[in-house]
Amino acid sequence: MSEKTILVVAKHEKNLELLAQFLEEHGYLAETAASIDVLDKILESKDETDMALIDVSGFDHSIWDRCEEIRNDGLPFFIISPKKNRQAKEKSLNEGARDVLTKPLEKSRLLKLVKVMLGE
Amino acid sequence: MVIDKESRLSTGIKGLDEILHGGLIPKRSYLLRGEAGTGKTILGFDYLVQGTKEGDNSLFLTFSEPESQVKENAKALGMDMESVSFLDLSPNSTRFAEEESYDVFHPSEVEQEPIVEDIKEKVTSVNPDRVFIDAITILRHLTNDQHQFRQQVLSLSRFFGQQNSTVLFTSENSPQNPDHDLQFMADGIIKLQSTDKRRSIEVQKFRGSGFQEGEHSMEITDAGVEVYPKLISKRYGAGFNNSTLSSGVPEVDEMLHGGLERGTVTLFTGPSGVGKTSLALQFAKEAAGRGDRTAVYNFDEDSDLLNSRSKAINIPIEKMKEGGNLLVNEIKPLELTDNEFAQKVRHEVEEKDTKIVVLDSVNGYNLSVRGNELRKSLFNLCQYFRNMGITAIITNEVSKITGEFQASDLDITVIADNVLFFRYLELKGELRKAIGVLKKRVSDFERSLREFNITEHGIKVGSPMKDLRGILSGQPEWQNKDSPKDQATK
């Protein structure tokens, strides 16, 4: 079975590291982006990615443009949001997110969602 | 299931082992509760050091203070922690220092696993017989919810059990952070308390064993924790023959129909300066003559004063002390709690073979000894004397010098088997002293009063003042006008 690649976007380095570490522990490849610039490069390269996890906290409004871009690329994604915020949730869903996850994430639940999304 | 004494694990604290009926039952987990500053960690030191003394492997698992600080504290108490293994999980240790903050996962999901891994790894390598965890409540902050915390503690304690470790874990309980869950999970609970007056220790639960209930006194000394179990009088019961102790003053023995029986408590009651202590010492002198040891607990008076006073009335206190037949122990105000005092007395009785105990006075006891239920503790002590065959003399000072008779200001007469009373009489304008017996449980006694005098040759007691009337009023009159004064002092 070829390894699935998951794009992980988070401004906060430690969060990014932990997410990537968690995914790798479960047999996925994690491609990380801690800034819009890096994210843009990844999106330009059109590398094979299977899904994305996007932690929006810390980014400015431009993150939503990227979300639209990702959706247009046909890549399924989850938004990770700091707290339960209806506005953010609506916005995320409008931008095409499959679901909005509120921090802190529960590892076992995250793993299940990822598996469902990847059709495993 | 009853676990025999040999297989018990000593806590390193004699008094606590006694309360636990021999010690902890191995391979179980015990909760040590108490607020900050109650002495939990020091008790842990004692527990671990006792292990290394017995050749056990001991492991100190610290969540709160860093290892270096724990070691320093132990050193200050003269505890040798050299052979104790450490696992430092304190927030200052490198583990946490390296970490940056994050919020994507709950700390429990990120940090708890490695902590549990570290614990398991350490335990497997050290293979400890004894583990002390200080404080397990820190784990609570690393878990998502109560349920998870409980699971964690349960699985840890199961793990320790499988490793044959006996675990003592502390919890800082406060109204804000109750630890009911831990209490429920532990095989035993030891609670420490501290007020500005006294420290106490109490076993609240002990699966598979009996224990001595109630709050016992605890002290933190330069050498660690000392525990003074409460006296429970029922547990003793040394056999004794019902012999009597003579006073050495024939008239007093006559009044008492022989003397004071062993295993009885006698109250000497009377106003200040009337001769209560002197008569008590007279009994001690007589006992010393037969090679019996007396312990005098002096709450009121300077020992030097007692010395010179005794010498003046021909009681050789120094000589009796040298011969090992007398102990005079001055108890300073607020020096001891009731349990500590009882422990002291027990040591005298059980280790030094003391036969007579004098408490001088009960008023001083009530003023000097710390405790919430002094009446009860004194009652227990008296019961203990009876069971151990001790002849106990307790002095009691009444505030009235003359006037209507009053046996005692306190309801202490109830506790005593015998009551001897002393009083001042005004007779033809002279102040005289009299002694009488008010009650004697074991034998009959003389009903009349006798004149009592303390002279340089010792205690002198006259013949019964049979012709006096109204003695208890303090101003008696001769019934027969011709009765001469010398009848009383014959």
Maximum Cα interatomic distance, chain B, rounded to a whole number of Å? 109
Same domain, B211 and B314: no
* pLDDT of res. A3: 83
CA-angle at A91, arms to A85 and A93, nearest 5°: 100
Note whether residue B490 is domain-resident.
Answer: no
Closest Cα in chain B, distance from residue A72 (Å): 27
Beta bridge partners of B62: B88, B134
Could you give the CA distance from residue A120 to residue A115 in angstroms, rounded to a whole number? 5
- Verify whether the Cβ–Cβ distance A18 to B102 is below 8 Å: yes
Maximum Cα interatomic distance, chain A, rounded to a whole number of Å? 39
* pLDDT of res. B490: 39
Three-class secondary structure of residue B190 per DSSP: strand
Same domain, B206 and B279: no
Could you give the CA distance from residue B252 to residue B16 in angstroms, rounded to a whole number? 44
What domain range is B363 assigned to? 244-478
Could you give the CA distance from residue A49 to residue A35 in angstroms, rounded to a whole number? 18
Could you give the CA distance from residue B202 to residue B33 in angstroms, rounded to a whole number? 10
> Whose structure tokens read 């203990």?
B384
Q: In this structure, what are the phi and psi dihedrals at residue B297, rounded to the nearest 5 degrees?
A: -105, 115
Residues in B whose CB is inside 8 Å of some CB of A read 99-106, 109-110
A41 touching chain B per CB within 8 A: no
Q: In this structure, what are the phi and psi dihedrals at residue B29, rounded to the nearest 5 degrees?
A: -115, 135
- Verify whether the Cβ–Cβ distance B106 to A106 is below 8 Å: yes
A26 touching chain B per CB within 8 A: no
Same domain, B128 and B30: yes
Note whether residue B489 is domain-resident.
Answer: no
pTM of the model: 0.59
| Residue B70 identity | V
pLDDT exceeds cutoff 80 at A75: yes
CATH number at residue B87: 3.40.50.300
Structural domains of chain B, count: 2
DSSP string covering A80-97, please?
EESS--HHHHHHHHHTT-
Same domain, B270 and B206: no
End-to-end Cα distance, chain B: 70
CA-angle at A12, arms to A9 and A17, nearest 5°: 70
Note whether residue B237 is domain-resident.
Answer: no
Scanning A76-115 for CB atoms below 8 A from B yields 80, 82, 103-107
Same domain, B188 and B287: no
| C-alpha distances in Å from residue B1, one per residue of B87, B96, B188, B429 | 34, 44, 15, 74
- Verify whether the Cβ–Cβ distance A15 to B104 is below 8 Å: yes
Same domain, B432 and B469: yes
List the single residue in B100, B101, B106 with the smallest CB-CB distance to A104.
Answer: B106
Task: Looking at B204-351, list the stretches that DSSP marks H as alpha helix, in order from N- to C-terminal side.
Answer: 250-255, 276-289, 303-312, 317-322, 338-351
Same domain, B221 and B111: yes
Could you give the CA distance from residue B109 to residue B89 in angstroms, rounded to a whole number? 16
Note whether residue B385 is domain-resident.
Answer: yes
Same domain, B219 and B259: no
Strands (E), B291-399: 293-298, 326-330, 354-360, 391-397
Residues B12/B49, Cβ–Cβ less than 8 Å: yes
- Verify whether the Cβ–Cβ distance B99 to A14 is below 8 Å: yes
| C-alpha distances in Å from residue B184, one per residue of B36, B154, B338 | 21, 11, 32
- Verify whether the Cβ–Cβ distance A22 to B105 is below 8 Å: yes
- Verify whether the Cβ–Cβ distance B101 to A14 is below 8 Å: yes
Last residue of a domain, one of B172, B195, B230: B230
Same domain, B285 and B318: yes
Residue (of B150, B126, B339, B335) closest to B231 by Cα position: B339
How many beta-carbon pairs under 8 angstroms link A with B?
35
Q: Which residues contact B250 (CB under 8 A, 6 or more apart)?
A: none
Per the document, the length of chain A is 120
Note whether residue B239 is domain-resident.
Answer: no
Contacts of B101 in chain A (CB under 8 A): 14
Note whether residue B464 is domain-resident.
Answer: yes
Contacts of A79 in chain B (CB under 8 A): none
Three-class secondary structure of residue A6 per DSSP: strand
- Verify whether the Cβ–Cβ distance B100 to A107 is below 8 Å: no
Same domain, B311 and B375: yes
Note whether residue B236 is domain-resident.
Answer: no
Residues B219/B15, Cβ–Cβ less than 8 Å: no
pLDDT in tens, chain B (490 residues): 455 556 899 999 989 999 999 999 999 999 999 888 888 999 999 999 999 999 889 999 998 888 888 898 888 888 888 889 998 887 755 555 455 577 778 776 776 677 788 888 888 898 999 999 988 887 777 776 778 788 888 888 888 888 899 999 998 777 777 788 888 888 999 999 888 778 899 999 999 888 988 888 888 888 788 888 877 655 555 545 567 888 989 999 999 988 898 888 999 988 888 889 999 999 999 999 888 999 999 988 777 888 888 888 888 888 899 989 999 999 888 888 888 899 899 989 888 889 999 999 888 888 888 887 788 888 888 888 888 888 999 998 887 766 666 656 556 677 788 999 888 887 778 888 889 998 888 788 888 889 998 888 888 998 888 777 776 666 677 666 554 454 444 3
Last residue of a domain, one of B175, B196, B230: B230
Closest Cα in chain B, distance from residue A15 (Å): 5
Could you give the CA distance from residue B365 to residue B410 in angstroms, rounded to a whole number? 12
CA atoms within 13 A of residue B224's CA, in its CB half-sphere: 23
pLDDT exceeds cutoff 90 at A95: no
Closest Cα in chain A, distance from residue B108 (Å): 10
The ipTM assigned to this model is 0.80
Could you give the CA distance from residue B398 to residue B422 in angstroms, rounded to a whole number? 10
Same domain, B71 and B140: yes
Note whether residue B377 is domain-resident.
Answer: yes
Q: Which residue of B has its CA nearest to A56?
A: B104
Contacts of B110 in chain A (CB under 8 A): 18
Contacts of A55 in chain B (CB under 8 A): 104
DSSP state of B125: H
- Verify whether the Cβ–Cβ distance B110 to A18 is below 8 Å: yes
Last residue of a domain, one of B230, B258, B288: B230
| C-alpha distances in Å from residue B426, one per residue of B313, B448, B468 | 24, 17, 12
Residues A40/A66, Cβ–Cβ less than 8 Å: yes
| C-alpha distances in Å from residue B352, one per residue of B74, B390, B476 | 33, 13, 46
Same domain, B173 and B304: no
Closest Cα in chain A, distance from residue B89 (Å): 21
